[in-house]
Chains A and B, each alone.
Chain A
Amino acid sequence: MWRYLLRRVSFSIGLLFVVATLLFFSIHLLPGDPVLLILGGDSAQPSPEQIAMVQAKLGLDRPLWVQYAVWLGRLCRGDLGRSLVDDRPVARDLANRLPRTLQLVIPATLVATAAGVSLGMFAARRRGRLADPIASSTALLGFSMPTFVVGMLLVALFSITLGWLPPAGYVPWGEDLSGFLRHLILPTLALAAAPMAITMRMTRSSFLEQASLDYVRTARAKGLTEPMVAWHHVLRNALLPIVTVVGLQIGGMFAGAVLVEYIFSWPGLNTLLLNSISTRDYPIIQGVVLLAAVLFVFVNLVTDLCYAVINPRIRYE
């Protein structure tokens, strides 16, 4: 187990190194002078002082490999540079925004997993009856609908037509817990819809695959009740692919949160990103994208470790 852990962790660190390198060189790979791009694209006419200022701030006046070394060195100390707009440290901005994005992603993960697994089991145990094709088609529709469509339709139904929930906004939970929860419901549902559908489909097929195996017949033959067989025997073995899918979905939710935060004016990481795009605040944009990639790699690592805990065959490989 420890050797497996060590191997996976070092692989993830290597991957993050690749990610950081790609991100560093991205601005140099894109066509055009990066300074002019940051100062407003082809149409802008920046003054020489502005150009010099941006160059010095991003260290673009030094040779490329020096820039790369300095950048990596700072990155290891958690220094992501300063905003071009208000000169605040990027790392502090990210630290302020990250918890609010997590306040969306974590509840959405819980909802998507709980609902997805139970609906998947429900459909699998009713195979051949009407409930199964209905549940399966709904799931297919669910992950064919874009996140922003789900979000807009939820707002149209629950805020505009019924007037039950606020259409957008954010209240810190320290100030007003019930207000926080009321603002949380619609964005959570919008974010959870597609992952729930995917989890449901995976649960159904994994469950059906296991249910046809011999040990299930043995369990039934020795007189176990049907719920006992389903929950204790089949689900436990069906869980492996489900864990992987849930892990991938959490990563996907950081992406879905871009649209959800935009629709519901949720002041998380992605709203920061979208605001910084209009001001072309490159250090912040780079910081958010890097942080998202780090979270993504971290979630994948945790998924793999969970997988190893559930499945002993992987540990001893």
Chain B
Amino acid sequence: MNSPPGLPIRALLRRWFRRYGQILIALPLLLALVVLAFGAPFFLGHDPNRVNPRVKVQSPSAAYLLGTDEFGRDILSRLAHGARITLLVAIASVILAAVGGTLLGTVAAYAGRGAETVIMRTMDGMLCFPPILLAIFVVTFLGPSLLNLILIIGGLYIPRFTRVVHSSTLAIRDIEYVESARALGASSPRIIARAILPNILAPIFVQASLAAGHAILMESGLSFLGLGPPPPTPSWGRMVEQSGRFMQLSILPIIWPSTAISVTVLAFNLLGDGLRDLLDPRLRN
């Protein structure tokens, strides 16, 4: 983009912030989360699962930076361990959904009418179930565990990726460079991998960032209902639920995990919005 000569620095900064602002807010938040998740054992020094009845429901202090919960466990340490669960579920399930959706979406766009109808109508059908109900339905039979949670949430988001990939692939399937690859005798898998995929990565990345936010909402919701990884694994949703039972004593133990979930989802949403604005040239002005 050419800036007209003599454009004041402030206007440039404003334009720069408008374009990258959301991403600039999101990335430090996510970085802080990663540091908290993996650095906590080194600088906190509390066992997140150690029950200590003598320090039940304490206010924040130098020893317990965010206070303790109703079992005398250090809330900050539990938040930090919960962050690992949250990040693990979000990233693993989104990768699963993105890979599955990309495969199904390109196959639907390439393998002819029959496969397309079966795949896309199945996806339509899956999208008819409110996702959390479908998740509850499956968890009931598979049992609550971390791996099952990842598989279920990943599976639930496959239809969204399939739709995005399917429509993006259809949009560029007949463009000249794809046609020339075909004319040179490239096989369909090769065309998909070399000509199509690189050109539909942008919408997949945007979708992935937004889906990560959704995955966290889903994970914490299921944990809140007691369908997440079994205790004593500290997951944020379960922390909210358990502290809720002791709301009469103090509402602080609810505020912390609630804030953690909301800020993390917010960061992924900002990242997704920012990426979409950045990668979609039509929205630029």
Interface residues of A (CB under 8 A from B): 14-16, 18-19, 21-22, 26-27, 30-32, 37, 41, 140-141, 143-149, 152-153, 155-156, 160-161, 251-252, 254-255, 258-259, 262-263, 273-274, 277, 280, 285-286, 288-289, 292-293, 296-297
Which residues of B sit under 8 angstroms from A146, Cβ to Cβ? 217, 220-221, 224, 237, 261-262, 265
Which of B88-96, B99-107, B133-141 contacts its partner?
Answer: B133-141
Instruction: Tally the A-B contacts, defined by beta carbons under 8 Å.
Output: 127
- Asked if A292 contacts B265 (CB within 8 A), the reply is no
Which residues of A sit under 8 angstroms from B141, Cβ to Cβ? 27, 30, 32, 37
For residue B142, CB closer than 8 A to chain A, the reply is: yes
- Where chain B touches its partner, the secondary structure class is helix
- Asked if A144 contacts B269 (CB within 8 A), the reply is yes
- Asked if A15 contacts B140 (CB within 8 A), the reply is no
- Asked if A26 contacts B137 (CB within 8 A), the reply is yes
Distance between Cα atoms of A7 and B241 in the complex (Å):
46
Interface residues of B (CB under 8 A from A): 121-122, 124-126, 128-134, 136-138, 140-143, 213, 217, 220-221, 224-225, 237, 240-241, 244, 247-248, 251, 254-255, 258, 261-263, 265-266, 269-270
- Asked if A277 contacts B140 (CB within 8 A), the reply is yes
Distance between Cα atoms of A160 and B245 in the complex (Å):
12
Distance between Cα atoms of A41 and B139 in the complex (Å):
12
Q: Which residue of A lies closest to B240 (CB)?
A: A152
Smallest Cβ distance from B245 to chain A, in angstroms? Answer: 11
Smallest Cβ distance from B116 to chain A, in angstroms? Answer: 15
Q: Which residue of A lies closest to B262 (CB)?
A: A145
Smallest Cβ distance from B192 to chain A, in angstroms? Answer: 27
- Asked if A289 contacts B262 (CB within 8 A), the reply is no
Q: Which residue of B lies closest to A20 (CB)?
A: B125
A to B CB contacts below 8 Å, 7 in the list: A15-B121, A18-B128, A26-B137, A30-B142, A141-B266, A143-B269, A156-B255
Smallest Cβ distance from B268 to chain A, in angstroms? Answer: 8
Which residues of B sit under 8 angstroms from A255, Cβ to Cβ? 130-133
Q: Which residue of B lies closest to A145 (CB)?
A: B262
Which residues of A sit under 8 angstroms from B137, Cβ to Cβ? 26, 285-286, 289
- Asked if B258 contacts A149 (CB within 8 A), the reply is yes
- Asked if A15 contacts B128 (CB within 8 A), the reply is yes
Smallest Cβ distance from B152 to chain A, in angstroms? Answer: 11
- Asked if A161 contacts B251 (CB within 8 A), the reply is yes
Which residues of A sit under 8 angstroms from B122, Cβ to Cβ? 18, 22
Distance between Cα atoms of A215 and B237 in the complex (Å):
49
A273 and B240 contact, Cβ closer than 8 Å, known pairs A140-B266, A140-B270: no
Q: Which residue of A lies closest to B254 (CB)?
A: A152
Interface centre among A160, A280, A288 (most CB of B within 10 A): A160
- Asked if B221 contacts A160 (CB within 8 A), the reply is no
User: B133: which of A32, A149, A153, A289 is its contact (CB, 8 Å)?
Assistant: A289
Smallest Cβ distance from A280 to chain B, in angstroms? Answer: 7
Which residues of A sit under 8 angstroms from B240, Cβ to Cβ? 148-149, 152
- Asked if A30 contacts B138 (CB within 8 A), the reply is yes
- Asked if B254 contacts A153 (CB within 8 A), the reply is yes
Which residues of A sit under 8 angstroms from B134, Cβ to Cβ? 289
